[in-house]
Chain A
């Protein structure tokens, strides 16, 4: 809580350095006199010193009011709530995909270390971590949307922008639009989570209780899944919890490139006009998520692993 307060103070201070603000359109208007400007300034509370403005803003935020978004002509809360479902759909799908693929290929790699499978997985992980996300997105658009890929007698083509082609909800169409952004957003997490799962699993496989389980004559699959996975996943859960807010914030690039009508694109579009309330609101929300998931990671770690004790 004190951390969040500190974050909000620093963010408010940084963002208040931007010129313009809600009065920018009036400053160029020759019919508006300096006295009008002063009166408007007073009405917006902009003649107050920074700490006073911050406290007023904070008072509003505590009541759930993030202010008025000038670039969207609605309140910030409204603007964000409208875009939230699209963002949750995209980040949620990407999360599920990364979890499924990342963790399972990590396990496969760890079961046969230094095998062909392992080398493939680690190399792919390196590529995934080194890939500039926006370029990967462009290349997928080039391959699937611009030219399309012909294979096995079919012509694969996917939409490169937007969330749907029609106004009514059509699941198949929605899924088609979801594929490319999901691949782009998941790539980094598949890479990091698989590397992490692999090393964590490798450590567990070398432990005594795994050898005991093997000595009992259990088959390999049971040992890996029942005894190994449980322990190997404890640190993985922490990493996943820590990277969730990043998934959310990383959607800025993906949503912008694929014209996905979510929060990330809302934020990006607000940059050009410097929509103070909206930028402030977005940054506050993502920072709160970071702080929250840090806490979740700590709690989950202690809960999953009884050996860990916090004072």
Chain B
């Protein structure tokens, strides 16, 4: 009798264990999704603030407060400048809001362009295979092998040298970033298409006499969209950092137009007396990028659990 356990003896232990495991999993998922949710909320707040700058901003981003400004940045709180002013006496909060508009719009359109190019190249490459695939993938390899930041710097320097630095406007930056950062997306889409084109529904679509373009965009693409969304989200974060780095180095958005990056360009020289000029724009970049990365991570878990 000693060998047999009373049925109830083991059950509580098991139940307890189960509950713990269950709670563990829920806590884990909850934590992940809570951060992603928080990320989404933060992104919404920042976007709304940036794009309602006309209504909310305390001043014009390029207005120089000559009444109070004496050649040095005004500290936060002085003369109704909530976050102070920069070295030219322009309201920092207003510039942050308008700068956010630029940084976010550049990122959005550059990623849109990147995703379009990457998706088309990847889809065509994966769907047709053969020599088309070979050619397109070699092109992808070339762009993957040239480090992105030096390449972007050279391209922007060419534009700057061809006319002048003022030519480095919004559109140019979008085209340069979007036109060079698509290879990762192309690889991703190609990989999904390689497996999708062997599936039965694809064969069925072909048997029904659909044209290739229709099969690619109407039948295959919707099935490959999850990793594209995840990659796209994470790319927005990358592009914000790229654009701000370019602008900081003087090869991105040109002053007087504010962007989070170029607001930091002159901050260094005044850092000893006016650290706030250097702190706030970078904090905006960090918080935005962090929020997007958490959102992307949550999306990956939610949409595509097998993806790494």
Contact = CB atoms under 8 A, between A and B. Distances in A.
B158 A252 contact: no
B41 interface: no
The contact size tier of chain A is 35 or more
A214 interface: no
Contact of A139 (B241, B282, B294): B282
A44 interface: no
A294 B144 CA distance: 11
B78 to A, nearest CB: 20
Given A286-B147, A290-B147, A138 B268 contact: yes
A250 B158 CA distance: 20
A31 B2 CA distance: 112
Contacts of A126: 290, 293-294, 297
B304 to A, nearest CB: 15
B245 A133 contact: yes
Interface stretch (B6-14, B47-55, B148-156, B182-190): B148-156
B154 A135 contact: no
A7 B145 contact: yes
Contact of B272 (A6, A146, A245, A268): A146
Interface stretch (A15-23, A97-105, A168-176, A218-226): A15-23
B239 interface: no
B286 A252 contact: no
A10 B142 CA distance: 8
Dominant secondary structure at the B interface: helix
B150 A3 contact: no
B245 A267 contact: no
Interface in B126-144: 138, 141-142, 144
Interface string B88-120: 000000000000000000000000000000000
B161 A142 contact: no
Contact of A246 (B147, B249, B264, B308): B147
Contacts of B151: 283
B271 A142 contact: yes
B154 A130 contact: no
Interface string B238-258: 000100110011010000000
Nearest to A143: B275
The 6 A-B residue pairs whose C-beta atoms are closest, nearest first, are A135-B282, A249-B147, A130-B290, A130-B289, A271-B157, A18-B158
Interface of B: 24, 27-28, 138, 141-142, 144-147, 149-151, 153-155, 157-158, 161-162, 237, 241, 244-245, 248-249, 251, 264, 267-268, 271-272, 275, 278-279, 281-282, 285-286, 289-290, 293-294, 297, 308
